[in-house]
Structure 1
Amino acid sequence: MTLSIQNPTHLPGVTTQNGRDLALRRAAEQLESAFLSEMLGAAGLGKSREAFGGGAGEEHFASFLRTAQADHMVQAGGIGLAERLFQALKGDKHVS
């Protein structure tokens, strides 16, 4: 899986510090999403059923379902991992 992070500092009204924080937050959210997607996979989400499953393509597209669900989980607040990562990447000394 390849994650791309775009540089948002070229946007109008975005200062260098705000752009850096935005990029760090996006990176933290993408990492939380990737983590949640893997955990959903380990929990068996998207695993094809033994009988009367969705066909040969079901296994191949199950990762798309997990990724989309993980993205929605993060946008809804996630498990707090993205916020902790963001604070750590930002250099906040009060992250425990």
Structure 2
Amino acid sequence: MSIVPTPVSTSIPIRNGRPDYDLAAALPKVSPEAQAKARSSARDFEAMFLNSMFSQMTSGLKGEGPFGDTVGTGVWRSMLTEQYSQTVAKAGGVGIASDVFRTLILQQANAKA
């Protein structure tokens, strides 16, 4: 009885519900450190976009309660929207980071070619 080795499965990234062969071919050309840096930069970019979006959403709101509409309310709200944006980006965001990551990796792979 012979044992047949199972093929090593390589995971192919999915983009819009379909395999992304371009990204799968580019990933081995880019070092893991560069991939980690690109992933971090992409997440930071998405967080920056979300922060801008959340700031616009809350710009017309006035403070209520004991603090009212004071200068401190604006500072507090900006810190709150920054934390919201970081949390949403870390949780997967709205999909901007994955496209930015893909673009960064493809550019780095093409630069090495």
Where does residue 49 of structure 2 map in the other structure? 35
Query: Identity, % of aligned pairs?
Result: 24
Structure with max Cα Rg: 2
Cα pair 1:33 1:70 within 8 Å, conserved? yes
Runs of 4+ with >4 A deviation: none
SS in 1 for 2:58: coil
Amino acid at match of 1:70: S
Q: TM-score, normalised by structure 1?
A: 0.69
Amino acid at match of 1:66: T
SS in 2 for 1:78: coil
In the alignment, the residues of structure 2 paired with residue 90 and residue 62 of structure 1 have an alpha-carbon distance, to the nearest angstrom, of 35
RMSD over aligned Cα atoms: 2.6
In the alignment, the residues of structure 2 paired with residue 60 and residue 46 of structure 1 have an alpha-carbon distance, to the nearest angstrom, of 14
Shift of 1:82: 0.3
Bigger mean CA deviation after superposition, 39-48 or 74-83: 39-48
Cα pair 2:46 2:96 within 8 Å, conserved? yes
1:64–1:87 Cα change, 3 Å? same
**CA offsets, 1:8-47, max 9 Å, x none?**
xxxxxxxx80000000000000000000010001111694
SS in 2 for 1:43: helix
Is there any run of 5+ residues in structure 2 with no aligned partner, and where? 1-29
In the alignment, the residues of structure 2 paired with residue 49 and residue 43 of structure 1 have an alpha-carbon distance, to the nearest angstrom, of 14
Q: Say which structure, 1 or 2, has more relative contact order (CA 8 Å, 6+ apart).
A: 2
Paired residues, number: 78
